[in-house]
């Protein structure tokens, strides 16, 4: 059979590091029936029942059997604006400052195609979410990594970016609460970001996927809470983590109208928006009293405590994450992130995500998800402790 060559754009796509991890997990599960998978980023709790019931209700509306508006229903954009006002005290114009996405993964890839030309530079956190790289590659642009180091609270040091890079940079990705490190943003970080973005005409994209998940009584900071943020960028918000709606694929771009317009333009050529019943259920989630979110964060905080305590009990010197549902733990001496992850699969039947999969500066760490019950997290740490590597 004839094999047709892939386009240059597809050949530029980075290798999916985690596809290797998935293969290792499958192999381990074939050999053992007690594998504990802490390497995933998929919420383990169900979508709150009232949201599911709203979808069941709306599925009977014949209006939604027709094509939805290309840009999404206005009631959903209004719900996003209400949410930002209620949760963050930010005024949003639903008509010009909100775009509806089929999940923010889509938007994070599309935005590079919207704003970057061949040879442009995108500033990307390292370690960071690998899908940032994919959109940049499809656009034919170049990546400049911004190292995130523990001694700087996993914030980028903008003084490390030279003048030439600033001149060619058109886009900057930030993500707080951070995947994979669990770090959170400060007003000072965002103020400096806005100042530099203004100075160098760089569009900022703040990935706020874990925006509802903060610990120790601290509510994560929205980029849009800082004056001047909408002048220089946008925030991407998803319902996947906040409401356990990962499979529903609903997200938003919120902020600078020119960026919102560009996203809606490219999506007119890709999609015809999301099923109307899902849009109505999503609006219901955003307009609800958020008690389910409070309970969810409380659950993650208890899991965080159980994991960190159990890790410390086996001699693993770790820092508790300040946000997100991930922990970022250092590997013991003598191991790389991948060799340590391999050891845990083979000898402890525990899966973690090697830090190198998130970038060069992810080396030396593994990412652990708080997506299992407390006793499962404790059992995983017990098994690791039996290896006596600490």
pLDDT, residue 383, reads: 96
Instruction: Determine the 3-state secondary structure of 326 from DSSP.
Output: strand
pLDDT, residue 306, reads: 97
As a whole number of angstroms, the distance between CA 376 and CA 6 comes to 43
Q: What is the pLDDT of residues 13-61, one digit of tens each?
A: 888 777 777 888 888 888 888 999 999 888 989 999 999 999 999 999 9
Q: Please give the model's pTM, rounded to 2 decimal places.
A: 0.95
Share of the chain above pLDDT 70, in %: 100
Phi first, then psi: what are they for 14, rounded to 5°?
Answer: -70, 155
Q: What is the pLDDT of residues 93-115, one digit of tens each?
A: 999 999 999 999 999 999 999 99
Nearest to 385 by CA among 354, 347, 352, 339: 347
Q: Is the distance from CB of 183 to CB of 155 less than 8 angstroms?
A: yes
Asked whether the CA dihedral 138, 143, 149, 153 is positive or negative, the reply is: negative
Residue 384 token pair: 């690791």
pLDDT, residue 41, reads: 85
Burial of 314 (0-12, 13-18, 19+ CB in 10 A): middle
The runs of H, that is alpha helices, within the chain are: 8-12, 17-31, 49-58, 74-88, 104-115, 131-139, 163-168, 187-200, 229-232, 257-270, 276-287, 291-313, 337-343, 374-385
Residues 6+ apart with CB under 8 A from 43: 240, 241, 244, 246, 325, 371
HSE-up (13 A, CA, CB side) for residue 364? 10
Report the pLDDT averaged over residues 225-243: 97
Interstrand relation of 203-207 and 233-238 (parallel, antiparallel or unpaired): parallel
Give the domains, in start order, of the chain with CATH numbers. 8-46+292-385 (3.90.1150.10), 50-287 (3.40.640.10)
254, pLDDT greater than 80: yes
Q: What is the pLDDT of residues 176-217, one digit of tens each?
A: 999 999 999 999 999 999 999 999 999 999 999 999 999 999
Residue 23 token pair: 């293969």
Share of the chain above pLDDT 90, in %: 92
Per-residue burial over 322-357, b if 16 or more Cβ lie within 10 Å, else e, is bbbbbbbbbbeeebebbebbebbbeebbbbbbbbbb
244, pLDDT greater than 80: yes
């Amino acid at each position: 059979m004839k094999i047709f060559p892939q386009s240059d754009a597809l050949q530029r796509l980075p290798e999916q590091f985690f596809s290797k991890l998935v293969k290792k997990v499958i192999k381990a599960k074939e050999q053992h029936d007690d594998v504990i998978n802490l390497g995933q980023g998929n919420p383990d709790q169900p979508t709150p029942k009232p949201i599911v019931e709203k979808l069941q209700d709306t599925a009977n509306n014949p209006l939604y059997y027709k094509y939805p508006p290309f840009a999404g229903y206005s009631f959903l954009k209004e719900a996003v604006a209400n949410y930002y006002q209620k949760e963050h005290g930010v005024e949003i114009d639903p008509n010009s400052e909100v775009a509806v996405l089929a999940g923010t993964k889509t938007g994070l890839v599309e935005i590079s195609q919207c704003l970057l030309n061949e040879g442009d530079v995108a500033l990307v956190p390292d370690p960071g979410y690998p899908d940032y790289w994919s959109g940049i590659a499809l656009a034919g642009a170049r990546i400049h990594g911004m190292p995130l180091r523990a001694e700087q609270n996993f914030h980028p040091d903008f003084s490390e970016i030279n003048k030439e890079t600033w001149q060619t940079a058109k886009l900057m990705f930030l993500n707080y609460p951070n995947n994979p490190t669990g770090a959170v943003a400060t007003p000072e970080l965002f103020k400096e970001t806005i100042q530099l973005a203004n100075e160098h005409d760089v569009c900022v994209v703040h990935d706020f996927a874990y925006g509802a998940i903060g610990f120790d009584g601290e509510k994560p900071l929205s980029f849009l809470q800082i004056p001047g943020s909408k002048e220089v960028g946008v925030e991407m918000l998803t319902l996947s983590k906040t409401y356990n709606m990962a499979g529903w694929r609903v997200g938003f771009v919120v902020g600078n109208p020119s960026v919102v317009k560009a996203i809606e333009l490219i999506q007119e050529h890709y999609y015809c928006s999301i099923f109307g019943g899902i849009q109505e259920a999503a609006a219901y989630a955003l307009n609800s009293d958020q008690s389910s979110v409070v309970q969810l964060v409380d659950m993650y905080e208890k899991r965080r405590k159980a994991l960190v305590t159990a890790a410390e009990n086996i001699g693993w010197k770790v820092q508790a994450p300040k946000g997100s549902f991930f922990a970022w733990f250092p590997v013991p001496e003598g191991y790389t992130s991948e060799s340590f992850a391999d050891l845990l699969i083979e000898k402890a039947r525990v899966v973690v995500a090697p830090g190198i999969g998130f970038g060069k500066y992810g080396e030396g760490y593994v990412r652990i998800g708080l997506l299992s019950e407390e006793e499962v997290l404790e059992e995983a740490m017990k098994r690791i402790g039996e290896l006596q590597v600490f």
